[in-house]
């Protein structure tokens, strides 16, 4: 296992960060709009300094396997932009954890093909949305989008903290 450090990188737009072995240092990264994140192999992507995330295309935040995590503890808003195909999928499975504990606002866009969805599957899997107070989605039909797939616990053992 090795280490990669980008101590001066402040912005990564429309990219991808994936880790399954080793470590990655991104201490200065504050902008990740449109960037997909994937953690596996018990590894962590920690970006507590990011406060906003917006995507104008299909992106994912994915943590799989026990001990794997994505930490976005400073994130306040999560937005799928107003473009067809702007879908953000947040998925914790197989014991993975995603910390979105400071997110207060989620916006799924204003038209067809735009959404933010949260999926939790498997023992020990967690997506923490404990501060969520405002969810907006074009498809909201009075039930706050819950029936449109905003949150899906695929396994009773997986938890989504809302």
Per-residue pLDDT tens over the stretch 142-152: 444 433 445 55
Backbone angles phi and psi of 147, in degrees to 5: -80, -5
pLDDT beyond 60 at 3: yes
pLDDT beyond 60 at 90: yes
Average pLDDT over residues 37-41: 97
Task: Tell me which of 82-91, 94-103, 151-160 is least confident.
Answer: 151-160
Which one of 68-72, 103-107, 158-162 scores highest in mean pLDDT? Answer: 68-72
Token output for 77: 């808003």
Cα–Cα dist 26/33, whole Å:
15
Token output for 158: 């997986």
- Specify which residues 19 forms β-bridges with: 39
Q: How many CA atoms lie within 13 A of 150 on its CB side?
A: 24
pLDDT beyond 50 at 22: yes
Mapped onto helix, strand or coil, the DSSP state of residue 91 is strand
Q: Is the pTM of this model over 0.95?
A: no
Answer positive or negative: Cα dihedral of 155, 112, 80, 61: positive
Answer positive or negative: Cα dihedral of 85, 136, 119, 45: positive
Average pLDDT over residues 68-73: 97
């Amino acid at each position: 296992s090795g280490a990669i450090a980008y101590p001066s990188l402040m912005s990564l737009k429309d990219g991808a960060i994936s880790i399954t072995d080793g470590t990655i240092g991104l201490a200065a990264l504050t902008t990740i709009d449109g960037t997909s994140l994937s953690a596996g192999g018990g590894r962590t992507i920690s970006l507590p300094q990011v406060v906003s995330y917006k995507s104008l295309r299909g992106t994912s935040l994915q943590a799989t396997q026990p001990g794997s995590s994505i930490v976005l503890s400073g994130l306040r808003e999560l937005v799928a932009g107003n473009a067809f195909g702007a879908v953000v999928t947040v998925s914790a499975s197989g014991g993975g954890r995603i910390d979105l504990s400071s997110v207060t606002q989620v916006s799924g866009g204003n038209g067809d093909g735009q959404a933010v969805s949260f999926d939790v599957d498997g023992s020990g899997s967690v997506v923490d949305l404990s501060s969520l107070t405002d969810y907006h989605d074009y498809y909201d039909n009075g039930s706050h989008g819950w029936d449109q797939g905003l949150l899906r616990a695929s396994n009773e053992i997986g938890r989504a903290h809302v």
